[in-house]
Amino acid sequence: MRNAEIIRKTAETDIRLSLNLDGFGKSEIISGAGFLDHMLTLFAKHAGYDLCLTCKGDIEVDYHHTAEDIGIALGAAFCKALGDKRGIVRYGDIVLPMDETLIMAAVDISGRDYASLDLQIPAQKVGDFDTELCEEFWLAFVREAKITLHVKQLAGKNAHHIIEGTFKAVARALGKATKIDENKKDEIPSTKGVL
C-alpha cells in the first residue's frame, strides 16, 4: 500500500493527516475552514485517494496558516507515500470544465518542485475564505510533494468555480500520474533511474 501519515505541530497549527494513494476517494476532513474542507473532499474524490485530516489552527486570526500548513502536510504525505516512485505513470494532465470555467492542469512527478499558477480569481473571498489562499495552498503542496505543476485558467468568471475547478483538475491530473503502469511496474520512469 502506498500510504503515509503525517503529524505536524507548530505554534500556529496542529495537523494529523493520513493519505492512501490506492484508495477509493473517501475522506474525513475537519480543518475549521469550511470552504477548504469542501475543496479537500473534492480533491480526494477526484484523485481517487483516501484522505483523513484534522487541523486545529489559529483560525481566529485567519485561514492563512491553516491552508498553508495543510498544503505542507499533504505534500509531505504525498511524497512519502510515493516512495521511490517505481512503476508510476509519472505525467498527468486534464482540461476540466466546470460550468463557465475551464481549467488546464498538468503534473510531472519529477522530484523537482515548480509551480506555475495562472488564475484570475475575480473575488477576494468565497464565503469567509480568502481566495489568495488557493495559491498559497498549492505552492506549499508542490514544495513538499516535489512535483512540477502547471495550472492555467482558460475561462471562468465565478471565484468558487475557478477554485473548485482547480482542485478537481489538479486531483485528476495527479490521479493519472500516480497510477501504476502495469507494463512497467518495476521501473523508475526516468532515464536517470531515479526521481
Residue 52 has pLDDT above 90, yes or no: yes
Cell digits of residue 5: 501519515
**Which residues, 6+ apart, have CB-to-CB distance to 9 below 8 Å?**
15
The pLDDT tens digits of the residues spanning 105-122 come to 999 999 999 999 999 999
Q: pTM of the prediction?
A: 0.97
**Eight-state DSSP code of residue 134:** H
Domain 3-184: assigned CATH number: 3.30.230.40
Domain ranges of the chain: 3-184
Cell digits of residue 125: 473571498
Mean pLDDT, all residues of the chain: 97
pLDDT of residue 193: 85
Give the residue-averaged pLDDT of 23-48: 98
Give the residue-averaged pLDDT of 29-38: 98
What whole-number distance in Å separates Cα of residue 131 and Cα of residue 128?
9
Q: By 3-state DSSP, what share of the chain in percent is helix, strand and coil, each rounded to 5? A: 35, 30, 35
Q: How confident is the model at residue 1 (pLDDT cuts 50, 70, 90)?
A: confident
Give the residue-averaged pLDDT of 48-64: 97
Cell digits of residue 56: 486545529
The sign of the torsion formed by the CA atoms of 5, 173, 22, 56 equals: positive
What whole-number distance in Å separates Cα of residue 29 and Cα of residue 51?
8
| Residue 133 exposure: Cα atoms within 13 Å on the Cβ side | 21
Residue 97 has pLDDT above 90, yes or no: yes
The pLDDT tens digits of the residues spanning 117-151 come to 999 999 999 999 999 999 999 999 999 999 999 99
Of 106, 122, 130, nearest to 155 by C-alpha is 122
Using only C-alpha atoms, the chain has a radius of gyration, in whole angstroms, of 16
Give the residue-averaged pLDDT of 172-189: 95
Residue 188 three-state SS: coil
Q: At residue 120, what is the residue type?
A: Q
The label of the residue with cell 506555475 reads 116
The CA angle 70-72-73, to the nearest 5 degrees, is 65
| Residue 180 exposure: Cα atoms within 13 Å on the Cβ side | 13
Question: Percent of the chain scored above 90 by pLDDT?
Answer: 96
